[in-house]
């Protein structure tokens, strides 16, 4: 049997392996579920990340005049 034919007969474990890191996205890595943004959105303006995680009280303090 050629290698190609063998690849067509992949098991679920192989399928999950092929999904790589996305396997963590569902309980057993079977599906990569993606929800688009609900509205048009630009980049969060904090280049260092963590923008979404800041509480509203901290937000204004991030900017200089």
Partner 1 sequence: MKNYLKPTSYKKIGDNYILWFENSNQYVVVSSFIYKLVLLYLDKSSYQKWVESCSTLQLEISELNSLYQEISTFLTQASKKEQTSNLSTKTDYPKNTTSVEEIKFYKYQNVCFNIKFSKSNILNIIKNPIEHLQNRTRTSPESKIHFQLICDKNHIYFLKNNNLISIEPLNRIHYIQGKVTMEILKLTNQIEESKFIATFHSAAIGNGKKGILLTGISGSGKSTLSALLASQGFDILSDDLTPMVEGNLILSNPSALSIKEGAFNTIESTHPNFRNSGTVLNLKKNIKVKYLPLKKFSDRNTPLPCHQIIKVNYSKKSKESLKKINCNSILDTLIPDSWISPKKENAESFLNWISQCQFYELTYNENQFAIDQVKALFKTTLS
Which parts of this chain interact with partner 1 (CB under 8 A)?
9-12, 14-15, 18-20, 22, 25-28, 30-49, 51-52, 54-56, 59-65
Give whichever of 2 and 56 is closer to partner 1, judged by the CB atom: 56
Alpha carbon 9 to its chain centroid, in Å, reads: 28
What residues have CB less than 8 Å from 29, skipping those under 6 apart? 16, 19, 22, 23
Q: Is the distance from CB of 25 to CB of 32 less than 8 angstroms?
A: yes
Give whichever of 1 and 41 is closer to partner 1, judged by the CB atom: 41
CB of 41 to partner 1, least distance (A): 4
SS3 label, residue 60: helix
Give whichever of 1 and 39 is closer to partner 1, judged by the CB atom: 39
């Amino acid at each position: 049997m050629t290698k190609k034919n063998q690849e067509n007969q992949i098991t679920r474990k192989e399928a999950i392996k092929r999904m790589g890191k996305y396997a963590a996205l569902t309980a057993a890595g079977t599906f990569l579920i993606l929800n688009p943004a609900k509205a048009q959105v630009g980049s969060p303006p904090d280049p260092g990340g963590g923008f979404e995680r800041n509480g509203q009280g901290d937000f204004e303090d991030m900017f200089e005049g």
